[in-house]
Amino acid sequence: MAIDTSRFTIHPEVKDALASGQAVVALESTIISHGLPSPRNVAVAGDIEQSVRDGGAIPATIAIIDGVVKVGLTPAELEILGDPNSNVIKVSTRDLGPVLAVGGHGATTVSATSHIAHLAGIKYFATGGLGGVHRGAQDTYDESGDLVTLARTPITVTCAGVKSILDVGATLERLETLGVTVVGFGTDAFPGFYRADSGFGVTWRVDTVAQAAAVGIQRDAIQAPGAVIIAKPVTEADQLDLALHDRVLAEGLAAADKAGIIGKDVTPFLLDWFHTQTNNQSLEVNVTLINANARLAAEIAVAALKS
């Protein structure tokens, strides 16, 4: 079935860039609507797009506005997504059909953003931290939809690893099983989102932007079905203090459990908990790392054009 173009629109700047073979980087919108507090979220959304431009690529933030998929947003659309009163639904791939059918605004997760970016012909994507296997998943089965989408979507995702609220070891095992390639950028340690080192290693490492681009190019050439994760750690100078991180996380997990938070609300609850309980130190780390990732993703997309 062809794409319903009345429900799928590409911003003219992004369309031109794709048609003329320029570098384009997709950005997700759940981080705007459900990962960062208002009104800072809207400013950060603009900054992330600017970081992509600084790296030499065109940004394409992806969301659903009034029941229409948008690849590339206007400033007014970023405002809608950032407004806590606009009733923005958190949309993973499973939610795409319903939200397009019934209308409304949707912020796309890594899962839905990857799917839509691939459909639009965008091969590079930047985010903060991927979703993954939650702690206690052996009882709850709570595993992010990000994992299965990444298993079947040939896109290169630059991120700071997976969110440290997760069971990182179990997530790495699942990524391995699912055929998702994980590459450390300038590191042998898998990054820990708010922390540079999660305590787990990576099997592959690249040290240059050209090498990172080559991994995605060779994945395409051999038609491997899954994503390439370029895992770039936050700098040690910018990371969250370890004792603070571990204390706030333990308290947040207990609070989520006590409040009966389940399903898609778990991740936004814990991110908000971190921002509140660290006096926004975690917010600053999150903003720093996502801008760095956006810039690197753009540089990788540019390098891929040259090879």
> What is the 8-class DSSP label of residue 32?
I
Query: Under the criterion CB under 6 A, does residue 109 sit at the interface with ligand PSU?
Result: yes
Using the contact rule CB under 6 A, the part of the chain among 19-27, 106-114, 176-184, 224-232 near ligand PSU is 106-114
Query: Under the criterion CB under 6 A, does residue 64 sit at the interface with ligand PSU?
Result: no
> Exactly one of 27, 91, 110, 234 binds ligand PSU (CB under 6 A); which one?
110
Query: Under the criterion CB under 6 A, does residue 131 sit at the interface with ligand PSU?
Result: yes
Complex with ligand PSU: residue 144 or 153, whichever CB lies closer: 144
Q: At closest approach, how far in Å is the CB of 275 from ligand PSU?
A: 11
Separation in Å, CA 158 to CA 205, 228, 229, 253: 13, 8, 6, 27
Residue 208 CA to its chain's centroid (Å): 21
From the number of C-beta atoms within 10 Å of its C-beta (0-12, 13-18, 19+), residue 115 rates as: buried
Query: Under the criterion CB under 6 A, does residue 35 sit at the interface with ligand PSU?
Result: yes
> Exactly one of 11, 15, 34, 232 binds ligand PSU (CB under 6 A); which one?
34
> Exactly one of 267, 278, 291, 293 binds ligand PSU (CB under 6 A); which one?
267
E strand residue ranges, the chain: 8-10, 24-27, 58-65, 68-71, 89-91, 106-108, 124-126, 156-159, 181-185, 204-206, 228-231
Does 264 participate in catalysis according to the annotation?
no
Distance CA(277)–CA(248), nearest Å, equals 7
Separation in Å, CA 99 to CA 187, 201, 203, 281: 39, 38, 38, 34
> Exactly one of 51, 61, 93, 127 binds ligand PSU (CB under 6 A); which one?
127
The interface partner of residue 93, options being ligand PSU, Mn ion, none and the CB cut-off 5 to 8 Å by kind, is: none
Of these residues, 28, 49, 77, 299, which one is catalytic?
28
Catalytic machinery residues: 28, 163
